[in-house]
Each structure stands twice: as structure tokens, then as C-alpha cells.
Structure 1
């Protein structure tokens, strides 16, 4: 541990602003003297005591509940003192200041400071200590933040499963199988004249194949869990007056963007988070894409921002206007946008052609399938016809395979780590096929695969990785 991990810490553990209840949390070693100064009496373990919280002169700051958790039976694994008061910002700041002052005061019984070195906690430091003290692993720690930040019911339930350790248990099963195979392979390196027969008798190849099959299942669920957490960025692009803002409003179910028949109404980026079957989608409306005279400086900046959003998208909805289908100038501008999209977007980013204004199109057979329109989805942002098909197409492109009762929340770093495991196991299989000529390389690939698995739960990890993860937490958590 770093030296700062031994300091006692204190913070307001509830969200900023007014509330019915607010919590000030202290974690460290030897909190009894501080608790005595604040509460006026010793506290029994793990019992809520209603009493006044006193200032330096013995006057009550507030009345509330005090709970003392002896180590190691606490959230952080250290001694923890929680003061539950009324949730006014001033009251909580007074309690926080009193904790810091009382810690520095001399305790009459011992003649020393009550809690030397007490300082304000950094973001995520309480949870970081829970991880460092073995109360939770790294995946569970991340699940706490994901549960707080969950934007959908499915994401919240999946985060709860990760917090309970379901994801970690699956990673543990993979790691145990990998360790068993590593021990088998490395043991044979000491007996080169018998290693091939030994590996064949122990069914090393079968073990590796089963391990790869298990990994495939875990990776599938992890991708789905990451999708629940991260969602996808969907950008609506197209010429002015194609109905981009109307489509955003229809998908969001609210009037978020201004809609007028005037070209260039949308000048800036408008973004809204929605959910489809529990999957968060970040839908972005952009300025109409066009060139030529009549574009003022503000609209030009809006168009530049639109292309910036398009280039950062996970999927692009290229919106076409059915009422202008067949007009040469409109078709030429659409073709130019399509060519630019093909040139500027990575191949992995799908572009969905969406044909809008089906409710006012001249004929029922105009649009997709009439030659130049090509394939796409036909809808009306005004009436809502065709919106459900668009939603399902977006989910399919994102790789969503439907709700799974056993799904757990995951992060992109978990997906990347499992992909590295997959790569190392593929190389290990190739070395195993080569038999005696490459068993040392086989052992190395299995070691690297185990290291990648360990990164997920924090069985080992660099301090900078921990810093990035816990700094994203709120203060007091």
C-alpha cells in the first residue's frame, strides 16, 4: 500500500444538495476517541444510537444516528464511523469540520491527538480501501460505481449481479482452469523425454479446448454487459429539412429539438440519451449537411461540428426525404454525402439509410426498392410508423442479443482483457499442436492469458490502473 492508504479519512458520503438525511463517514484505525468526542459516549458495535453530535463546547450541532463498525466488519475493512444527520449542506459541512477539528485535539485520557492525520477522502477512496483490504475485488468495486450511474433498470440489475460477485466467479472459474493447465504444462518442461506422452494422457488439448469454449461464453455475456453500461452513440445525419430533428424528438418521445420548414434551423448538436429494451442509446441530432452559397458562418460551424460527431459515432442514420426523391439536385447532394461518409468513416461504423416522411410521400411505392433508393428503412417521424423497426435495427447493429437473466454489467476494459486472453489461448493451441518444439512458448502464452484475467478482478494490477478506476467515483464512496 501507498503511505496515503494508512491515513484516516473523512468525507460527506451523500450527494450534494438538500436531503432528508446526510451521512458523514470516517474510516481508519482507532476511532473510539473521536467517536467519544463527537457523540459524548462510547458507541456499541454495529448499533444505531440516536444522540446529539456535539461541537467543541459541547453544544449540539444536530441530532441523528451514530454507528460504529469495528474492523474488519465494515465497508472498508477498517474501523468506520457513520454520522447520519439531517441532510442540509450547512449541517453536514459543520459535522465534517468538527470531525477534522476533534481529530487534531488532544484526548484528555491519552494526552495525544485523538486521530492524527485525519484528512478529507479523495474520490473513490473508501471503495479503494475496501478493495485493498480484500472486502471486494476490482470488478465488484467498479460495479458499485456502475450501479450508482446506471441509466436503465436492466443496467442496475446487471450491476447488482456484478456487485454480488457473479462476474468475478466466472472469471475465477476460468482462472482456476487456466492455472491447472499451466501447472500441467510447466511440470512437463522438467521431463522433456516424457512431456508429449504426459500431456496426451492428461488431455491437455481437451482442457485447452474446454477453456476456450468457456471463454467464448463469458466473452459473449461480457460484451452484452458492456453494451448495457456504455450504450452506443447514434448520429442522425442528412440534408437540411430531411426530418432529423423530428426523428430525434420521435425517438426521445419529447420535443427536444426545434422543428421548422426553414433550412438550417438546427445550428448545433442536440443530444439525448434514450433506452431501447434497457440498452442506452445516445442519439445526436446534427446540422443539415450542405455546401454552396447561402450558408452563414454560424451554420458553417454547425456543419463542421456535425461531421465531428459523425466521425465519433458507433452508428449513423443517413436520413433521406421521400418527398424529394427523384429531384436531381437532391439526389446529387445525397450521393455526395454518401461518398463523404464512406471516405471519412471507419469500415466498422454502420450507416443505415432511413427514408422519412412516408406519411406525405407522393406514392406508396416510392423509396427503397425503386432503383436508386437502395435498401433502407421507411418511416414517418411525424406519425411514428416504422420507428419500432428502426429501434430493432439499432439493437441488432449494436450486437444486442436480448435480455439475459444472468447478465452482469461489464466495462470495455473487461472486454479488451478477455479478447487478449482469447488471443493468447489461440496462440497456445497452435504451440500445443507443434508439441515438443514449442512447449516453452505454450507455457508463456498461458501465463500471459492468466495475467490478462487477473487484471479484471485486480488479483494484480498497476497503481496507475487503480488510480484511473477509483478517481471516477464520487467523494465519500
Structure 2
């Protein structure tokens, strides 16, 4: 990310490739309206009325018509970036858009005009107080949303739902800090004054409010990121059939021959709006086949990155010493759901077994071939993910948001412990409240390092 945020910048704001419409966007930095007018005259042959769509030609340096389309001028500060912004909406061919882009860059009346870096338009919107950082990240989340629920979630964050919840929490936290800081000036009245003002009750209310925000944020992060689900087991237990059953399509080759799948096959599906990134892997066994061995190595690599491992067994055979070895080799802490497949060959009912003493995991009995029990598996995946029904009040969140919320919660817990252990140590109590506020403010960007901003906005697409 460039450190110069006052340059005029330009980019094609629509996706690469052919389309009915293509947009070239210019944000003019600190340049005034007279410079904007000169570019409009050079490109469109006329000045444009702010916030009015005008059908104009797009002219070459020789006055030839490169294209015809819509010119839109947004005068500062009433624009996406808060600066003067010009949008030229023409036909969406890559060549014509590049011609228009190069024509704008060649206009000498706009000094310093350069190509925008990824995310630079939204970065400027943040710097010019058009969006806070959580809203700016929601722009990218909305663009990248893989499900309808994720898109709605990101839309709520972009509209400011997440930021408003944090703002209310921070306001309550500030009021408690003011109370404590004021009390520090009167040490002989510390305990009575705090008790009279119900400082402990206010802190408890803050912790409850933060816990609710954490819960909503975890749901939003789940919608945004989804879950990585890896299918493992011995060869020919039905991993590929289960992938096909969950996806509702024939994605993986299924044969009775053990070792048919030699490399991982990935597919993203959704259950109640949650993206599930399901990976079918090579059967785990000792083999002399070099290609199969490479596939098995990739299986273990995928397992290390999994949120949930589905360990498949043949229901006719059950748990074997080889399965014991697979379980023992799984990374510590990984969530495992055991799947007893091929119940159709036993005429056994589908269902879910409670956790047993001998095998500390839940067991789902199903038939990937007939589909019996697949609904039980879907329900178990949602439960293991911690998903709750109803997405009306949640908002898009990222891992950095969850980290900051957890840290703030820890500081509030520390404050409560300080108050319980030593009612006279108000300075420590006040410090924990201050640290909690700092971590919450990181989310919206009130206190955020330039390095973090560069990392966040560099992941945006160019033109946004």
C-alpha cells in the first residue's frame, strides 16, 4: 500500500474479462474541482453536473470517439472515497477499457494521476471517515461472499451493525472508566463510592454485552470462512460416495476398487448458508504405489488444516486396528466425527449414537449410496460448528475481530478479579478497563497500526 494518500488514482473498477458494462473510476485526492473539470472536458467534451448521469462520448487525444457511455461526477465529500470522484461507465470490453484508462492517464491537466493499488479506494474511504475499518472489511466480505447468508451478514456489517454494537459497548465502558478514574482522586471514598454507583454491576453488564457480541461475531466468522471438513478412512469405505452425496453431484469417481482416489478432491457446499469446504482424500494405508503415497501425504497435510475430520468406517466391519492407528495419528484437538457407512448393506437404521465411554466421539450411521442418514450428518456438522438457527442479527466478522474480542473479554475478566481480590487496587482495575477499550477500538480502526492497514487493504481487488 502506497504511503502517499493524496495522489489522484485511477483503475478499472469492474471485474476482468468481457461484460455489458465496464467502469473506470478516478479519485482525485487533494486536487480541486477545477482539475476535475479539466479532465471531464478532455475525456467527455463537457463538464458534468454532480450526481447526474450524463450520456457522453469518451474522446481520444485527437478528438476521436473511443466509446460512448455514462459519465458520473461525485463532488467531495459526497463520494465513496470522500474525494472528488469521476466514474466513466462504458462497454465492458477489456481493450476499450484499457484504451480509456490510458487516455485518462495521458491527460496532463491531472498532475500525478497514477494507477490505484489493491483496495486503495476503500482505504481512502476509511482515511476520510466515510467508513470505519470494520465496514471497510465488510466491503471485501460482501464481494467475496460465497452464500446468500454470508452476503446478508456482510451487508449488515457494511451498514454499520457491527460497529454500532461495538460503539455502544465502548460508550458503556468509557462511562465506567470515568467513574473509576474520578474515584481515584478521592482515595478515602473508593469503596463506598463504587458500591453506591454499582461499579461491579456495571462491569457485569459490560461482560454480558461483550459475550453477546462475541457470540454474534463467531457466527458471522463462520458464515464468512466456513468450515474445512476432511474425509478420512481406509480405502473403499465410501469417502468419495459421501462427498458426492453431500454435494448432490458426481464429483469424485466411485468404483469398488480400493485406492481409486489418489489425490484429494475438494468441493464447497453450504448447509443453512454455512460454506463447508469438503475434501475427499486418498485412503490411508501402507502402499508401494508412488502416486498413491503422494496422495496419502497430501491427505495428512489436509488433516492438519481441518476444522472437522469425518472418519469413515465400513459399517459391516466396524472399528479395526487400522482405524485405531488412524485415530491415534490425528492431530491433537481436532474434532472427529465417526461415520459408519454402508448401512444399506446391513438393512440397519440410520441415526446418531451418543458419545460412548470407549470411543470419545459421536457416531453417525448412514448410507452414502442411498442417502439415508445424510440429514443426521448435516445436523451434526452444524452442531459441531456451533451454529445457531437464525441469522437476522449477526454480522460479518474476521479472525482479527475475534482475537480482539477475546482479548477485551480477558481484560474485563482481569478487572473483575482485581475488584474481587483487592477492592483498594483501583489503579489496576482502571488499567484493565483501559486495555479492554484499546482492543475494542482496534476493530473499528480508531487505534490501528499502519502495517495492519496495509495488510488488510492489500487483499482487496484493484478498483475497490
* TM-score of the two chains, using structure 2 as the length reference: 0.95
Say if 2:183 and 2:190, in contact at 8 Å, map to a contact too. yes
Counterpart of 2:431 (choices 439, 444, 454) is 444
Displacement of 1:59: 0.6
The 1-side partners of 2:317 and 2:191 are apart by: 71
Contact 1:355 / 1:367 at 8 angstroms: preserved in 2? no
Q: 1:375 to 1:7 in 2, by over 3 A?
A: closer
Preserved CA contact (<8 Å) 2:183 2:193? yes
Shift of 1:332: 2.1
1:22 matched to which residue of 2?
22
Identify which of 426, 440, 446 aligns with 1:453: 440
Residue 338 to residue 174, structure 1, CA distance change in 2 (3 Å): same
- Which deviations, in whole Å up to 9, do the C-alpha atoms of 1:127-186 show, x marking residues without a partner? 000010000111111111111111111111111111111110000000001111111111
Counterparts in 2 of 1:346-365, with a 5 A limit?
346-347=332-333, 349-361=334-346
CA distance in 1, matches of 2:349, 2:93: 62
Identify the residue that residue 146 of structure 1 maps to in structure 2: 141
Mapped partners of 1:276, 1:338: distance in 2 = 26
In structure 2, the residue corresponding to 1:185 is in which secondary structure?
helix
Q: How does 1:305-454 map to 2 (within 5 A)?
A: 305-325=298-318, 331-341=320-330, 345-347=331-333, 349-361=334-346, 376-454=363-441
- 3-state SS of paired residue (1:194): helix
- Per-residue Cα deviation, 1:67-125 (whole angstroms, up to 9, x for no partner): 111100000000000000000000100000001001xx2xxxxxxxx111110000000
> How far apart, CA to CA, are the structure 1 residues paired with 2:16 and 2:253?
33
Matched, 1:94 2:94: no
State the Cα distance separating 1:414 from its structure 2 match. 1.0
* 1:209 to 2:198 alignment: no
Partners of 2:71 and 2:169 lie apart in 1 by: 43
Aligned counterparts of 2:99 and 2:289: Cα–Cα separation in 1? 54
Contact 1:32 1:42 in 2 (8 A): yes
Deviations 1:271-315 (A, max 9, x none): 111000111110000000012xx5311111111111111121101
**Equivalent position of 2:55 in the other structure:** 50
Structure-2 separation of matches of 1:411 and 1:364: 40
- Work out which of the residue numbers 295, 299, 306 in structure 1 matches 2:292: 299
Q: Relative to structure 1, is the Cα distance of residues 400 and 372 closer, same or farther in structure 2, using a 3 angstrom cutoff?
A: closer
RMSD: 2.0
Q: 2:193 aligns with which of 183, 195, 198?
A: 198
Aligned length: 457
Work out the CA distance in 2 between the residues paired with 1:461 and 1:219.
Answer: 20
Paired position in structure 1 for 2:8: 8
- Measure, in 1, the Cα distance between the counterparts of 2:402 and 2:316: 44
Closer, same or farther: CA 434–301 of 1 in aligned 2, 3 Å: same
Distance in 1, Cα, partners of 2:13 & 2:382: 37
Q: How does 1:211-226 map to 2 (within 5 A)?
A: 211-226=206-221
Tell me by how many angstroms 1:316 deviates. Answer: 0.4
Match of 1:85 in 2: 90
Contact 1:322 1:366 in 2 (8 A): no
Unaligned runs of 5+ in 2: none
* 8 A Cα contact 1:322 1:367, kept in partner: no
